[in-house]
Chain A
Amino acid sequence: KAGVTQTPRYLIKTRGQQVTLSCSPISGHRSVSWYQQTPGQGLQFLFEYFSETQRNKGNFPGRFSGRQFSNSRSEMNVSTLELGDSALYLCASSYKPPGTGDGGVSTEAFFGQGTRLTVV
């Protein structure tokens, strides 16, 4: 079974530009979460999508947005890039059974290798 695939692996952008990152979850997984990892702040939750709907959002400005497609693939977009946006962006997928609400079973999050974004 293929793992979580993130593209591209590396990206260099200049301030003010925008960027789109892609994440393909494990086959059968319907939940995709995005995280930003920096040396100073550690792993910070950006948002989570399930069945094309954003269910949860972290404390990031509106420049950070995302979406999920019907095949569960997800993209995140950062507009008007700032130097401080340089980070490793990680996506995680997990399987969430229908009618979920009890937590527990199959909520493990599996991460991709990440996209290293450098803003210059």
Chain B
Amino acid sequence: GQQLNQSPQSMFIQEGEDVSMNCTSSSIFNTWLWYKQDPGEGPVLLIALYKAGELTSNGRLTAQFGITRKDSFLNISASIPSDVGIYFCAGQEDNFNKFYFGSGTKLNVKP
């Protein structure tokens, strides 16, 4: 089945630092999405990517769709305490709304 590897599993950083996380897949994706999930809540969509090489920003967040279409990364600049949560990547390989999710990156930010 589809393998989606997300790293790192967890990060402990100081407020103000930049953060980077990435996902790689075993097959080509047409769409990459990045979500943030707070405890007990559903994931909230942060950024959507549709084309290989696409670089998209949403405030302090920047994500890129890898050229090979098998990877994506998410950067968070100047982290703040409310960035704490679990970040998931999700990829879609066909035209149906079936997404494969990474295992998540748990982000901890120390004030």
Contacts and interface: CB of A to CB of B under 8 A. Distances in A.
Contacts of A31: 97
B42 A112 contact: yes
Interface residues of A, number: 33
B82 interface: no
A104 B92 CA distance: 10
Interface in B10-49: 30-31, 33, 35, 40-45, 48
B88 A43 contact: yes
Of the listed residues B42, B48, B100, the one surrounded by the most CB atoms of chain A closer than 10 A to its CB is: B42
A48 B92 CA distance: 13
Nearest to B100: A45
B30 A45 contact: no
A32 to B, nearest CB: 9
B103 interface: yes
Contact of B97 (A96, A104, A112): A96
A108 B33 contact: yes
A96 B94 CA distance: 13
Contacts of B97: 31, 33, 48, 50, 55-56, 92, 94, 96, 107, 109
A72 B39 CA distance: 28
Interface string A82-104: 00000000101010100011111
B34 to A, nearest CB: 11
Given A43-B43, A90-B42, A107-B92, 8 more contacts: A43-B101, A45-B100, A48-B96, A56-B96, A58-B98, A100-B95, A107-B31, A116-B40
13 contacts: A6-B42, A35-B101, A43-B101, A94-B97, A103-B30, A103-B92, A103-B94, A107-B31, A109-B45, A109-B97, A111-B42, A111-B43, A116-B40
Interface of A: 4, 6, 31, 33, 35, 42-43, 45, 48, 50, 55-56, 58-59, 90, 92, 94, 96, 100-105, 107-114, 116
